[in-house]
């Protein structure tokens, strides 16, 4: 595959942007080689500036459950943009999207829109601290909750890939307020809350982890968290930035039947535009300014274009059978990949339309397990797929996403390419 134009752009980009990118994993450092520069996206495909086409399983890292440039979303945006791009004043669109979120997440009685998942999580933590008048935060190793200071402690995703679980620039005093425990270890949570529960404002978790690769909660883990947090007066925050509208319309809370006190959303609710949201029980959200003492604000929050993309996306997700057909395609990919691996030391872990291929011989249930997976093999697997025109996540610790735009033929093509990629990985 020839990537001359991408190569030139990357050279120039590296002079202007740290690493040539605006978000670290995009630089392909974990898998080697250089990123391609995108010219356009359409359905399940990306086309780069050299005219190469890729079947895309990154989906902008989660938002694009409908695929790129869905015609209905694009049409809604075209119409909206003519009415102005930002008002800094309330719109009907915010009310419409808030009602759609509320319908999907009954535990979210009140919410606020922000512009990214990071912002949603930072704000939710502040609200939890304000409401409980406690300081400490419990998180789980390998869960990524955006790049807020207190959450870059044993974080997954790019922070894991780059081996800086504790970023430079995070004050030690802030990191000390964060307690990181192993995912899926309810006993560790019980012990921590028994020891310091009265100082803990919240437990935050990715209910299905996407950011150390896809890791599922053991049966009873989420309901156990629900019970333990309630017993200690600690708020339970589900970071559903990936899982919201992904595992089911109502996210992990619908899929597992466990309600959260506060929920963070992002990615899919923006339909490919920058949106995040945090919300939860009314008495908690009434702490937020201007109703309460917890300050939170944003110039572009509730932006009309972003709200438009969100409203249209959620409307399409409510189409009968949407999640069922997505599940069928994702299951076909999972089974095909497993067969293509032909008994090698490979685990394919999947929840709904998110999955990860781990090069390891045992189930991945925690960060320690994920770290044991063979990243070199994953890198060879990735590069082989890419040369065959299939774009998987450029790092082991990320989820691949199947969208509604992936056809049965696309899945079959991926499985065919994966056979060669597994062989390349083993070599």
Which one, 210 or 259, has the nearer CB to ligand PLP?
Answer: 210
Tell me, yes or no, if 378 is annotated catalytic.
Answer: no
Residue 353 binding ligand PLP, by CB under 6 A = no
The region of 236-244, 322-330, 389-397, 414-422 touching ligand PLP under the rule CB under 6 A is 236-244
Residue with the two structure tokens 């930035």: 241
Pairing of strands 276-280, 347-351: unpaired
Closest approach of Cβ 194 to ligand PLP, in Å? 27
Residue 146 binding ligand PLP, by CB under 6 A = yes
Residue 346 binding ligand PLP, by CB under 6 A = no
Instruction: Go through 329-365 and write b for each residue having 16 or more CB atoms within 10 A of its CB, e for each that does not.
Output: bbbbbbebbbebbeeeebbbbbbbbbbbbbbbeeebb
Count other C-beta atoms under 10 Å from residue 88's C-beta. Answer: 10
Which one, 140 or 382, has the nearer CB to ligand PLP?
Answer: 140
Residue with the two structure tokens 């994702």: 330
Residue 266 binding ligand PLP, by CB under 6 A = yes
The one among 150, 197, 210, 310 contacting ligand PLP by CB under 6 A: 210
Residue with the two structure tokens 């049409």: 75
Residue 398 binding ligand PLP, by CB under 6 A = no
Q: Which residues pair with 213 in a beta bridge?
A: 211
The region of 170-178, 238-246, 350-358, 386-394 touching ligand PLP under the rule CB under 6 A is 238-246
- Three-state DSSP class for 138? strand
Residue 154 binding ligand PLP, by CB under 6 A = no
Closest approach of Cβ 102 to ligand PLP, in Å? 21
Catalytic residue among 45, 54, 144, 391: 144
- Three-state DSSP class for 38? strand
Tell me which residue has its CB nearest to ligand PLP: 117
Backbone angles phi, psi at 48, to 5 degrees: -90, 175
Residue 125 binding ligand PLP, by CB under 6 A = no
Backbone angles phi, psi at 355, to 5 degrees: -150, 160
Residue 70 binding ligand PLP, by CB under 6 A = no
Site string for ligand PLP, 159-198 (x = CB under 6 A): ----------------------------------------
Distances (CA, A) of 50 to 25, 28, 169, 276, 384: 21, 18, 38, 33, 19
The one among 145, 154, 246, 281 contacting ligand PLP by CB under 6 A: 145
Distances (CA, A) of 70 to 79, 304, 316: 14, 18, 10
Which one, 55 or 151, has the nearer CB to ligand PLP?
Answer: 151
Size of the site for ligand PLP (CB under 6 A): 15
Residue 116 binding ligand PLP, by CB under 6 A = yes
Closest approach of Cβ 270 to ligand PLP, in Å? 8
Residue 242 binding ligand PLP, by CB under 6 A = yes
The one among 118, 287, 388, 414 contacting ligand PLP by CB under 6 A: 118
What is the chain's Cα-based Rg? Answer: 21
Backbone angles phi, psi at 369, to 5 degrees: -65, -45
All residues at 6 or more sequence positions from 179 whose CB lies less than 8 Å from its CB, including other chains: 136, 137, 138, 139, 192, 196, 200
Residue 141 binding ligand PLP, by CB under 6 A = no
Count other C-beta atoms under 10 Å from residue 85's C-beta. Answer: 12
Tokens, residue 134: 């406690």
Residues 273-302 that bind ligand PLP (CB under 6 A): 276
Catalytic residue among 45, 267, 378, 410: 267
Closest approach of Cβ 151 to ligand PLP, in Å? 8
All residues at 6 or more sequence positions from 376 whose CB lies less than 8 Å from its CB, including other chains: none
Residue 393 binding ligand PLP, by CB under 6 A = no
Residues catalogued as catalytic: 144, 239, 267
Kindly list the residues in this chain that would bind ligand PLP in the complex (CB under 6 A): 116-118, 121, 144-146, 206, 210-211, 239, 241-242, 266, 276
């Amino acid at each position: 595959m020839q990537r001359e134009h991408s190569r030139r752009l990357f050279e120039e980009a590296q002079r202007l942007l740290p690493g040539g990118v605006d978000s670290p994993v995009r630089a392909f450092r974990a898998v080697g080689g250089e990123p391609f520069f995108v010219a356009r996206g359409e359905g399940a495909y990306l086309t780069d500036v050299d005219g190469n086409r890729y079947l895309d399983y990154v989906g902008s890292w989660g938002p694009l459950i409908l695929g790129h440039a869905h015609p209905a979303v694009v049409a809604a945006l075209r119409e909206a943009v003519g009415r102005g791009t930002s008002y800094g004043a309330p719109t009907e669109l915010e009310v419409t999207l808030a009602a759609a979120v509320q319908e999907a997440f009954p535990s979210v009685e009140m919410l606020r829109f922000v512009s990214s998942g990071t912002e949603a999580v930072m704000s939710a933590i502040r609200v939890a601290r304000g409401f409980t008048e406690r300081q400490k935060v419990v998180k789980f190793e390998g869960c990524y909750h955006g790049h807020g200071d207190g959450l870059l402690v044993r974080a997954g995703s790019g922070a894991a890939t780059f081996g800086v679980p504790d970023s430079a620039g995070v004050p030690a005093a802030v990191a000390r307020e964060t307690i990181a425990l192993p995912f899926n270890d309810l006993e560790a949570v019980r012990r921590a809350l028994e020891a310091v529960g009265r100082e803990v404002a919240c437990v935050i978790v990715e209910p299905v982890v996407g950011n150390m690769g896809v890791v599922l909660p053991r049966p009873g883990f989420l309901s156990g968290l629900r019970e333990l947090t309630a017993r200690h007066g600690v708020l339970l925050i589900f970071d559903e930035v990936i899982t919201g509208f992904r595992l089911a319309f109502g996210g992990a809370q619908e899929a597992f039947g466990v309600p959260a006190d506060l929920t963070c959303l992002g990615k899919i609710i923006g339909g490919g535009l920058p949106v995040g949201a945090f919300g939860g029980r009314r008495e908690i959200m009434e702490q937020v300014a201007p109703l309460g003492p917890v300050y939170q604000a944003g110039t572009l929050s509730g932006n009309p274009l972003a709200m438009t993309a969100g409203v249209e996306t959620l409307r399409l997700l409510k189409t009968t059978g949407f999640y069922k057909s997505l599940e069928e395609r994702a299951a076909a990919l999972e089974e095909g990949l497993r067969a293509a691996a032909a008994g090698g030391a490979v685990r394919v872990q999947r929840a709904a339309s998110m999955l990860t291929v781990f090069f390891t011989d045992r189930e991945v249930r925690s960060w320690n397990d994920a770290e044991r997976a063979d990243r070199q093999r994953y890198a060879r697997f990735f590069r082989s797929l890419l040369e065959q025109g299939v774009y998987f996540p450029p790092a082991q610790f990320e989820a691949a996403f199947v969208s509604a735009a992936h056809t049965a033929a696309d899945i079959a093509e991926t499985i065919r390419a994966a056979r060669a990629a597994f062989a390349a990985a083993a070599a």
